[in-house]
Structure 1
Amino acid sequence: MSVTHTLFTVGPVEVRKEVLESMTKPMITHRSKEYEKLQEGIVEKLHKTLDTDLNILMSPASASGLLEGCVRSGVSSRMLGLSNGSFGDRWQGIGTENGKDVRKVKVAWGKAIKPADVVPHLDDGIEAVTMVANESSTAVLNPVGEIAKAVREKHDPFIFIDAVTAAYGTDLKLRELEPDALVFGTQKALALPPGLAIMCCSDRLLKKAESVPNRGYYFDLVQMKKMADKNYSLTTPPVSLLYGLDFQLDRCLREGMANRYARHRQMAEMVRNWAKKNLGLYAEPGYMSDTITVIQRGSVDFSKLQKGLKERGYEISNGYGDIKETTFRIGHMGDLTVEEVRGLLKNIDEVLEGQK
């Protein structure tokens, strides 16, 4: 049974027909000259669209795999994990499950993490600080640049950033940020199917990884880099998805990254204005995401709202984690347009009016 509704979800997100069609090219083997050329071109376009010279590593996985790779390859013993939502908690958990000594910083859900929340917990024994740029459970955009700057004023740990719902929807200014690892996947603002994780990583992280024991195999950054230098993947890559990524990066270049970020901001402001007028926003003012909006549910029956929207050809997302029962989420990222968001909000109004 085919799905005909447009996704305004947090991810996976809406994937256009032409994007899916771009993935139907004939299969090639992943140890061929054709594949080398494909990966080389993709890496060049990733560098250009993200405006970075950092190393690019890719893995057939969700982004969580490379978050684990950061921990296993970059931390021998101690790390500082920052969290103000479910996905910050997840990265802390990844550290703990991999046997690292994780010093945890917890900030109230809905609030942004500020430098003052972080600096008192640092010492020279902390090897890495993990943070989420755009917390998907709360729609808080953390000031990662300010945090990284404050951390580096007195200490020099690695800066590891989960950019899963930020990359390609928000300008993270990587040349200023200079993260040691920035991780994201294909199924969010790149508007592709899930299945490929991408990391921008520093030379010093790769150097440190050479001396860290028990890095595992699948997400060993050292081995991944050796293969990436040959324009190969460590393990079998999703070739069809790479065709799609190549197509989408070309689309990003045609649109222009400044225009892409501005479109995301315009969609976000439209949803935020609607939410402020009708139900209320969850995230702290001044720190709101441009790819996701978390909306206070109030007396709205989300299951009925979702049912009504699906009947009209739309789908949004429920709340997540600790606020699952009190909020819902609208994703406005990828290839969605301002006009499409306007249409969604009009239909939400009509569905809610019909339920009174």
Structure 2
Amino acid sequence: MLYTVGPVHVAPDTLESMTKPMITHRSGEYKELHANIVEKIRKALDTDMDVFLVAGSATVFNEGAIRNAVNERCLGITNGSFGNRLIEIAELNGKAVDKVQVPWGKAMKPEDIAGKVGKDIEAVHWAANESSTGVFSDSVALSKAVSEQNPDALKIVDAVTAAFAMDMKVRDMDADAIIFGTQKDLGLPPGLAIMLCGERMLEKAKTVKNRGFYTDLLKIKKQSDTNYALTTPPVSLMYGLDYQLDKMLKEGMSNRYARHAEMAALIEDWADRRLAGVFPEEGYRSKALSVLNRGELDFDAFHKKLKAKGYEISNGYGEVKEKTFRIGHMGDVTPAGIRELLAAFDEILEE
């Protein structure tokens, strides 16, 4: 059983939902599937934004957002590896990037960018839920701080481990691009990137050169308006996505968010009792994954014994790799499953 940060455990019924006969991506059946997915994502996340689907990991849309939003200069806020990745993407695409580095384990806050969103900043980007550190920053507050300084600056939010696990308050966030993929809290295999795209992003794209082909949001928008994909999508994965969205809406999003919060609380309590607590600062802790301090724990030996019991978790990541480890509790994982995992932890420690 995977309790990793991604890819995540895929439930047997979800796997079964992806075994329907193949259809072509230019058929009427495909158009219906595409339209249903878009409608259900909007309903689940309470948004009227465009919903774009592209084959690939979410990184393809992180790159696409930068390429469509920025001619010359952007601002990257980061408190971990995946905020750093957004900055690297921008720089590799030839953009000048002003950087705001927040200490790992701390949340990004409006005061961190005070006076730093000048008129030459075309876009500001950050990771809402930093999966290297387990920090969930307040993207609504960050977005407001950006707009107060420069109303024209676009806002690009990596929501890869945030979407569908915690209420991001999409309407209040007022972002221009919110990006995620199937292999995290959607509880599916990897292979499909999803972007919530705002009108301002599309208008800006009209003024930006070298948007590429695969990442040209104007091309994607033209096809999406007719419920088609720009290029061949992973149709089987879309069957699974449609199925998972039905499950989520049946559960209810508030119940879903509460389930994730309960799982995070169980792990935090265990970490306080049995190890050296959790890594991120209080008040800004992710509900999709938990990053625990190792303390004196020999993680490699511990994880070897854990895998022998049929469980797998994730190592630390980036700058804190050697002093933390991570537990993913996304998708269809339940509090009962987390209790079983923690019981296995206890058995190993007692050995």
Q: Which residue of 1 aligns with 2:172?
A: 176
Q: Which residue of 1 aligns with 2:303?
A: 306
Q: Are 1:31 and 2:26 an aligned pair?
A: yes
Give, in whole Å, the separation in 1 of the partners of 2:84 and 2:33.
Answer: 36
The question of whether the paired residues in 1 share the 8 Å contact of 2:18 and 2:237 is answered with yes
The question of whether the paired residues in 1 share the 8 Å contact of 2:122 and 2:154 is answered with yes
Q: Which residue of 1 aligns with 2:342?
A: 345
Superposed structure 1 runs of 4+ greater than 6 Å apart: none
The question of whether the paired residues in 1 share the 8 Å contact of 2:293 and 2:325 is answered with yes
Give, in whole Å, the separation in 1 of the partners of 2:66 and 2:144.
Answer: 21
Calculate the TM-score normalised by the size of structure 2.
Answer: 0.98
Give, in whole Å, the separation in 2 of the partners of 1:204 and 1:150.
Answer: 18
Q: Structure 2: which 5+ residue stretches go unaligned?
A: none
For residue 195 of structure 2, what is the amino acid of its counterpart? M
Q: Are 1:225 and 2:221 an aligned pair?
A: yes
For residue 187 of structure 2, what is the amino acid of its counterpart? A
Q: What does the per-residue CA deviation read over 1:317-347, in whole Å, with 9 as the maximum and x for residues that have no partner?
A: 0000111111100111110010000010010
Q: Which residue of 1 aligns with 2:82?
A: 87
Q: Which residue of 1 aligns with 2:10?
A: 15
Give, in whole Å, the separation in 2 of the partners of 1:293 and 1:208.
Answer: 37
Q: Indicate which of 287, 296, 299 corresponds to 2:284.
A: 287
What is the RMSD of the two structures over their aligned residues, measured on CA atoms?
A: 0.7
Superposed, 1:104-115 pairs within 5 Å as: 104-115=99-110
For residue 234 of structure 2, what is the amino acid of its counterpart? P
For residue 116 of structure 1, what is the amino acid of its counterpart? E
CA drift of 1:75 comes to 0.6
CA drift of 1:120 comes to 2.2
Q: Are 1:234 and 2:230 an aligned pair?
A: yes
Give, in whole Å, the separation in 1 of the partners of 2:64 and 2:301.
Answer: 41
Give, in whole Å, the separation in 2 of the partners of 1:352 and 1:65.
Answer: 41
CA drift of 1:303 comes to 1.3
Q: Are 1:185 and 2:200 an aligned pair?
A: no
The question of whether the paired residues in 1 share the 8 Å contact of 2:55 and 2:191 is answered with yes
Superposed, 1:197-208 pairs within 5 Å as: 197-208=193-204
Q: What does the per-residue CA deviation read over 1:263-295, in whole Å, with 9 as the maximum and x for residues that have no partner?
A: 000001111111112222110111000011111
For residue 278 of structure 2, what is the amino acid of its counterpart? L
Q: Which residue of 1 aligns with 2:267?
A: 271
Give, in whole Å, the separation in 1 of the partners of 2:122 and 2:168.
Answer: 23
For residue 350 of structure 1, what is the amino acid of its counterpart? E
Give, in whole Å, the separation in 1 of the partners of 2:87 and 2:334.
Answer: 35
CA drift of 1:305 comes to 1.1
The question of whether the paired residues in 1 share the 8 Å contact of 2:191 and 2:234 is answered with yes
Q: Are 1:74 and 2:74 an aligned pair?
A: no
For residue 14 of structure 1, what is the amino acid of its counterpart? H
Give, in whole Å, the separation in 2 of the partners of 1:24 and 1:210.
Answer: 40
Give, in whole Å, the separation in 2 of the partners of 1:241 and 1:46.
Answer: 15
Give, in whole Å, the separation in 2 of the partners of 1:74 and 1:227.
Answer: 20
| 3-state secondary structure, aligned to 1:193 | coil
The question of whether the paired residues in 1 share the 8 Å contact of 2:115 and 2:149 is answered with no
Calculate the TM-score normalised by the size of structure 1.
Answer: 0.97
CA drift of 1:155 comes to 1.1
Q: Which residue of 1 aligns with 2:323?
A: 326
For residue 292 of structure 1, what is the amino acid of its counterpart? L
CA drift of 1:154 comes to 2.5
Q: Which residue of 1 aligns with 2:129?
A: 134
| 3-state secondary structure, aligned to 2:114 | helix
Q: Indicate which of 135, 158, 161 corresponds to 1:162.
A: 158
| 3-state secondary structure, aligned to 2:77 | strand
Q: Which residue of 2 aligns with 1:261?
A: 257
For residue 324 of structure 1, what is the amino acid of its counterpart? K
Deviates more, 1:18-27 or 1:145-154: 145-154
Give, in whole Å, the separation in 1 of the partners of 2:85 and 2:350.
Answer: 38
CA drift of 1:119 comes to 2.1
For residue 295 of structure 1, what is the amino acid of its counterpart? L
Give, in whole Å, the separation in 2 of the partners of 1:333 and 1:269.
Answer: 14
Give, in whole Å, the separation in 1 of the partners of 2:124 and 2:340.
Answer: 41
Q: Which residue of 1 aligns with 2:115?
A: 120
Give, in whole Å, the separation in 1 of the partners of 2:38 and 2:18.
Answer: 18
| 3-state secondary structure, aligned to 2:115 | helix
Q: Are 1:40 and 2:35 an aligned pair?
A: yes
For residue 40 of structure 1, what is the amino acid of its counterpart? A
Give, in whole Å, the separation in 2 of the partners of 1:95 and 1:352.
Answer: 44
Give, in whole Å, the separation in 2 of the partners of 1:210 and 1:122.
Answer: 23
Q: Structure 1: which 5+ residue stretches go unaligned?
A: 1-5
The question of whether the paired residues in 1 share the 8 Å contact of 2:77 and 2:100 is answered with yes
- Percent identity reads 54
